[in-house]
Structure 1
């Protein structure tokens, strides 16, 4: 029966929830807005047909944005379109000689004298470089080199300073003040202040807080389960429509479709919309530490979907998972770009790093890096209802495929995951950010 496809393609269930999330406003981890978004998601999952929809709380390191400024070449930059603090930056003022490291590649840090200096680094990497460098990797290279402060320069034009957390699991608050500046401010200070003394100032409220995961279930009461996941929280500077309101809204849309196909599910679907993803995957790590990994058949994680009409998938070296994605994409006639590489930067990772099969699903977009993500421009007007509906159909079909008795995806040995990270040159960055989980 294909009636569910037509019903999903004309459904407003997911889009209505997306509007609910963006209209809440600030959904920063640990905030009242994040709590209200989680409660709304719980209710939306229940209305869509999921069972036992509830919240599960956990403690986090709270961080609330105050003011931030950058003084350089006789000018003060303190407007929100110019400079913003990076979440979990410590409060404080730092002064030092500005050193423009350009892209901030690992070798750039090795070749420079950064002790007591203020490091300026771009948010992208050159086309010829073989991997993405996460913001936290550049930050901790600066910390390790003895820098006094870190300035993260957006590569996307439009007066859009980038946000994104610093800190580690062991030390959730970073070591040195950190701010993001727009591409325009970055270009100006690189031209006018490189080699001069600059001042970076950050104020923030740092105290204990509480976040929560949203749980619900569909399908039979089987021993194993498929995790269908997203994250509810977003950075406080924008609506968080793309990252990750659309992911959570699509989960609701998928649940609405699966509730109509519950007899097609051979395996329980455990829906989890995580809290505190943007500050270190805290919600998903909380669940992964308490879950029996042998009982998790696969993780289907939606983070960044609907940004483009086509879908991208990290398959993380699980060949049977890649085959299942390709089969569904062919069957549904929907483009799917599958990479076997590891992507250690979303809520699948606390499971995948220990060998649990998992895929990170996102919307394919042109350009490098996050684009409008993690900026003031992450707003609802960038998204299309059509894309949410279409992707909801494809991902519901994929969920049924992954929950089928006919689909078996072997878990991988964590040593294989570690070796693949080494081969892909990702291990170095994970070690410096404190994210390397393996014994060397």
Structure 2
């Protein structure tokens, strides 16, 4: 009964797939590299023993990086464009808004180039997403947006702007390192600054990779990740690790298929980094059939830390199942019941579908090396992938049990929780409020 554990402790299947993904180089949504990642993942799921491995394609707004710069009095500061920034140049008085909390944008910012940090204070009750800060700046009349990393190491951060209705943003947006941000604030506060972004925005194609195991039941579990990554790095942690986990889980569960009492569908989504486009496409495709999703087990940012973190979105049964797996293996797990309205569980969970956001415990708030040049394979350990795969494989088997009941939530319950946890206002300003 435990042979699968020993095999997993010696398996290189998921890790080999991770190496294949990072060796592609650029997996930006809509790029040839993302297409290669889809094909490699489809083939890996088939090799793992999953059935009906295929790619479902869809059209997206493409974005291709050119040059960008922050031009000050006689100097040019290093920066990188934020994906889906418009190709434009804007000038204005430079203003450092610090953390970029909602109240920091209450002033009239017309004619200003604003800079905000990539983090929030430790005492602040929630993390504020980059896009929320961007659209606060847009609403306040800013001419351009500068996103400064809070992590040392000369690492400018990336991350998309834009909305579902207007995929290309309103004002030019760039990321700068902590060091450049500190220099800008010290030397150029109140001075004239120009932000220039060159890019192309052609139509493009992305896709989701599907496969399945288990009986042909009406209900199903979704085991998911996203396979795209930002073009500036290997995307090892975000989210090569999650997709490697999905194919490793497929390998394990193919050997344990007779224990599955509910169909398990594996999906590696495309175009997550530009607005959850792939998972949104699948959620829309299912429509009312979402009621047959027993749970979404979404892997986004695993492996980097040793302790798995389960955001459970207030679903008590999901919390109990994660705790049970930790108890079964005498292994620590971290459980957070609050909502996370980001990543590929959300297009389902926003409609009341039970969903996990599974990542790992890390030091501090924010992405760390994620969304920077430093998101590379050397930061990850095969040990963590193997240990976490054991826990997550057992979790899926437990969730697939016929006796495991997981109640969906009403839309009103999700709305109430979003308002209580102070997500609603930010989601409305970013165009992510679907209700």
Q: The TM-score by the shorter chain falls in which range?
A: over 0.9
Aligned counterpart for 1:324 among listed residues 317, 321, 324: 321
TM-score w.r.t. length of structure 2: 0.99
Aligned counterpart for 1:180 among listed residues 165, 175, 189: 175
Q: Once superposed, what is the RMSD of the aligned Cα atoms?
A: 0.6
**1:412 maps onto 2:416 in alignment:** no
- 1:283 is aligned to 278
**1:248 maps onto 2:243 in alignment:** yes
- 2:21 is aligned to 21
- 1:102 is aligned to 98
Give the conservation status (yes or no) of the 8 Å contact 1:324–1:398.
Answer: yes
Give the conservation status (yes or no) of the 8 Å contact 1:73–1:192.
Answer: no
Give the conservation status (yes or no) of the 8 Å contact 1:73–1:189.
Answer: no
Residue 73 of structure 1 deviates from its aligned partner by: 3.7
- CA distance in structure 1 between the aligned counterparts of 2:57 and 2:285, rounded to whole angstroms: 13
Residue 307 of structure 1 deviates from its aligned partner by: 1.2
- 2:265 is aligned to 270
- 1:67 is aligned to 67
- 1:370 is aligned to 367
Residue 333 of structure 1 deviates from its aligned partner by: 1.6
Aligned counterpart for 2:133 among listed residues 120, 135, 138: 138
What SS is found at the alignment partner of 2:285? coil
**1:212 maps onto 2:213 in alignment:** no
CA-to-aligned-CA distance 1:82-134 (integer Å, 9 cap, x gap): 31000000001000000100000000101x23111101000000011100000
Uncovered stretches (5+) of structure 2, i.e. residues with no partner? none
Residue 315 of structure 1 deviates from its aligned partner by: 0.4
Residue 332 of structure 1 deviates from its aligned partner by: 1.5
Q: How many residues align?
A: 433
- CA distance in structure 2 between the aligned counterparts of 1:380 and 1:176, rounded to whole angstroms: 33
What SS is found at the alignment partner of 2:8? helix
What SS is found at the alignment partner of 1:335? coil
TM-score w.r.t. length of structure 1: 0.98
Task: After TM superposition, list the pairs within 5 Å mapping 1:214-229 onto structure 2.
Answer: 214-229=209-224
- CA distance in structure 2 between the aligned counterparts of 1:368 and 1:354, rounded to whole angstroms: 27
**1:153 maps onto 2:153 in alignment:** no
- CA distance in structure 1 between the aligned counterparts of 2:376 and 2:4, rounded to whole angstroms: 29
What SS is found at the alignment partner of 1:289? helix
- CA distance in structure 2 between the aligned counterparts of 1:68 and 1:83, rounded to whole angstroms: 7
- 1:6 is aligned to 6
Residue 74 of structure 1 deviates from its aligned partner by: 2.5
- 2:186 is aligned to 191
**1:431 maps onto 2:428 in alignment:** yes
Give the conservation status (yes or no) of the 8 Å contact 1:89–1:166.
Answer: yes
Aligned counterpart for 1:239 among listed residues 225, 234, 239: 234
- CA distance in structure 2 between the aligned counterparts of 1:261 and 1:196, rounded to whole angstroms: 64
Residue 207 of structure 1 deviates from its aligned partner by: 1.1
- 1:55 is aligned to 55
Query: Which shifted more, 239-248 or 113-122?
Result: 113-122
- CA distance in structure 1 between the aligned counterparts of 2:235 and 2:17, rounded to whole angstroms: 13
- 2:164 is aligned to 169
Uncovered stretches (5+) of structure 1, i.e. residues with no partner? none
Give the conservation status (yes or no) of the 8 Å contact 1:125–1:132.
Answer: yes
- CA distance in structure 2 between the aligned counterparts of 1:403 and 1:165, rounded to whole angstroms: 35
- 1:383 is aligned to 380
- CA distance in structure 2 between the aligned counterparts of 1:136 and 1:264, rounded to whole angstroms: 43
- 2:309 is aligned to 312
